[in-house]
Amino acid sequence: MPLWNFYHPVDAYTPEDKKALAEKVTEIYARFMPKFYVGVVFQEIEAESFYIGGEPRDNFVRIWIDHIARDFPDEEASTRFINAVNQVIAPWVKDRGLDWEFHVDETPFSMWSIQGYFPPREGTKDEARWIAENKASPRTNS
């Protein structure tokens, strides 16, 4: 389950921007996990409440990405993901003259529940069913 938290200046994004960006973030994952796993949160931060290096900033976007459903098997996969994220977010940060930073936290799969269910493991028939149905449901097999 990826959860993306965008901490951004007030009025940096319109509702349409947020929807478009959330759709692009979801596309990163939709090829290999259910879309309903992907969450995106936008949190406006007043300039006097966001400091970088001890100075207030009104042009900075901080993105905190939590991963649970998958982890990166090696540094090469991590690098590909980081490059893909920078490409996806560029129209909403770099191309708008905003500074940005992001990081990814990986939580152990065993420490996760969704809708009260333990999610199926990657590559299982149950996961394929969750992807097709785009919803959580009881496991029927592993």
Query: What CATH number is attached to the domain comprising 41?
Result: 3.30.429.10
Q: Is 97 left (phi over 0), alpha (psi -120 to 50) or beta?
A: left
In a domain, 141, yes or no: no
For residue 13, the model assigns a pLDDT of 98
Specify the pLDDT at position 141. 66
| Residue 142: per-residue pLDDT | 55
Q: What is the pLDDT of residue 52?
A: 92
Task: Look at the chain and report how many structural domains it folds into.
Answer: 1
In a domain, 136, yes or no: no
Distance between CA atoms of residues 58 and 69, nearest Å: 33
pLDDT at 129: 92
Residues of the chain with pLDDT below 50 are none
For 28, the domain range is 3-111
Is there a domain that residue 135 lies in?
A: no
